[in-house]
Amino acid sequence: MAKGNKIPEIRFKGFGGEWEEKELGRLCANTYGGGTPRTSEAKYWNGDIAWIQSSDITEEQLSNVVPRKSITENGLKASATKLIPENSIAIVTRVGVGKLAFMQYKYTTSQDFLSLSKLKIDNWYGAYSIWRKLQNEKLSVQGTSIKGITKEELLLKVIAVPKIEKEQTKIGTYFQQIDTLITLHQKKYDKLLNVKKAMLEKMFPKKSADVPEIRFKGFSDKWEERKLGELADYKNGKGHEDKQNTFGEYELINLNSISIDGGLKNSGKFVNETDTTLNKDDLVMVLSDVAHGNLLGRVALIPENNKFVLNQRVALLRPSNSVIPLFLFYNINAHQLYFKSQGAGMSQLNISKSNVEDFTSYIPNQEEQTKIGNFFKNLDNLITLHQIELEKLKNIKKACLEKMFV
């Protein structure tokens, strides 16, 4: 908002003048509360009337709510919930305060909602503007416990509204389009993650099998059983706590450097002196984990020579000439259940050198290793591209929410 008036920083061409402030109670013709039919009465449930609860709506899901439960006419009559007209806004007032959705179909809600019906402003503009208002107010009270907001308090909330409805419609439509793009990329991203998960299960042999379920055309030989200690040279990292800094010549590889999906993250720690550095295509493995063991044995690939230094509780696995590093990287990360099962300790789980070197799996010839490694690398590149696009769209939406509203 421009300082001293009610004009947004960014505006569609052809619109001018200040916006006006209005209370939510004056922007709708009707309001509806909710309720829950008695759960022990089967005749109240699994009917034709949508019944939504707070958990059906995510933080930024402003439409397309898919209710997990429905009620019958008997359930509607026997409870405090009301049948709410289509094109209403359902706002969570208790558990998950501030979540809301524009509902394009008739519905009912639990008692955690207040619904605004027959809006006197553009529906989509109303949904985004009210959501932004409630999100900003939640941020202003971080650190406190928000147990709920009353109907009276909610209806007294004030939002700024363009005087011309066409401007409201343009703003609402613009954010609808951004959200549609975000949803499309989210679906593609989730689909690729599921494809990768399925392929990791099917392109490496299951327990007691010497060939995988899915193979590239032209390969039929049985895979060879090998221990990890035969495929890579193991070495423990050293402590650098007395030398590390937030800047320096060499980045430190510590327990924070390896993500749950095997990516290499910036640890934010550096050293200027070292006896030895890591080589390109070295693998680094998590040896200690407080996250229920889900990171134990997770490995990442080092992308270049003479840039990284290994810290304690992280192991170096330097692949031998008998194995393709990229294949070994995916092979280890496809068998996390083994490493998790080897974890020992109470508050922190640890795996030892012998645990690592004794890991046994089946290995194909190097040509097949190369194809498998490249397949998963290309899949990861696609996942990363969609993730980047998704974050870009979310940042655009965030910035526009700040600059296109008052």
In order of their start, the domains of the chain are 1-14+163-205+364-406 (1.10.287.1120), 20-161 (3.90.220.20), 224-363 (3.90.220.20)
Rounded Cα–Cα distance for residues 30 and 35 (Å): 17
pLDDT score for 272: 95
Which residue is it, tokens 């009912």? 108
The token pair at 117 is: 């019906």
What does the angle CA 259 – CA 260 – CA 262 come to, to the nearest 5 degrees? 65
DSSP H or E run through 57: none
pLDDT at 60: 82
- 14 sits in the region (left: phi over 0; alpha: psi -120 to 50; else beta) called left
Whose structure tokens read 């605004």? 116
Question: Do 214 and 364 form a contact (C-beta atoms < 8 A)?
Answer: no
For residue range 275-308, list pLDDT tens digits in order: 999 999 999 999 999 768 899 999 999 999 999 9
pLDDT tens digit sequence for 89-101: 999 998 888 899 9
**Between 122 and 140, where is the model more confident?**
122
For 19, half-sphere exposure in the C-beta direction (CA atoms, 13 angstrom radius) is 23
Residue percentage of the chain with pLDDT more than 70: 96
- Distance between CA atoms of residues 281 and 145, nearest Å: 48
Cβ pair 148, 94 in contact under 8 A: yes
